Amino acid sequence: MSRDERTIRDIRQRLVEARRQGRAALLDEVTRGLAELGQQRYRCCLVDYESCRPTFYVRLLGYERLRVRAELEFPIEPHLEAIQLVPLSHLVDYEEAEDPGALRGIYEGLAEYLHHRTAPLSRASSAAAAPRAGTAGQRRPGRAAKRRRRSARGAARRPRVIKRVLLAAGVWWGIAGVLASYGLFVFLVL
């Protein structure tokens, strides 16, 4: 395969072929192809096979730790790291991403090798991802969100409260039992 015709589709097909045939030489070719695309800053799409649509437009940066190093370009998601390590199986060329039927076909060809239908993405650190109060585009949580948080905190406290109530009831019933048996003993003996 010449350098000019390398696309994500070609490299993905080589990877599937290498896995089916168990040929290490093809895996080396896949690795070299991904490295070349990374040097070219090749652009493609990160696809979600759950919804059969592209989720991000990405720029390839290289290949490391059995994953493709890619920069998320669009849409911008502040809660995600800009640079991600994604599986090759979830990358498609722009032409492939336009047709949901083509994405289903790609998924069917890769399904036996996929661990997740959606590529796992790394979240940004909380300090970098959390916008400051009052910044444009920040949405304040409404009453429903506050109510959910409050009820979740209350649910976390409930088991402790129930344990305390049961312990107190057990202590009182224990004291009542001792007093009743003492009273019965005194009544029968005297």
Q: Are the C-beta atoms of residues 11 and 63 closer than 8 Å to each other?
A: no
> Which residues neighbour 3 within 8 Å (Cβ) at sequence distance 6 or greater?
36
pLDDT in tens, 119-169: 888 888 764 544 444 444 444 455 555 555 555 555 555 667 677 777 788
Instruction: With CA atoms as reference, report the closest residue to 17 among 27, 8, 9.
Output: 27
Does 63 score more than 70 pLDDT? yes
Q: How far is CA 3 from each of CA 6, 17, 22, 30, rounded to the nearest angstrom?
A: 6, 19, 24, 12
pTM of the model: 0.61
Residue with tokens 């290289």: 62
How confident is residue 1, by pLDDT bands cut at 50, 70 and 90?
A: very low
**Domain extents for the chain?**
3-129, 143-190
pLDDT, average across residues 113-122? 84
Compute the distance between CA of residue 46 and CA of residue 107 in angstroms, rounded to an integer.
13
Number of helices followed by number of strands (H, E) in the chain:
6, 5
Tokens of 43: 């652009």
Q: Average pLDDT in the 106-117 region?
A: 85
Percent of the chain with pLDDT strictly greater than 70? 78
Strand blocks (E) in 14-120: 43-48, 53-64, 67-74, 83-86, 91-92
Contact yes or no for 87/70 (Cβ under 8 A): no
pLDDT of residue 93: 92
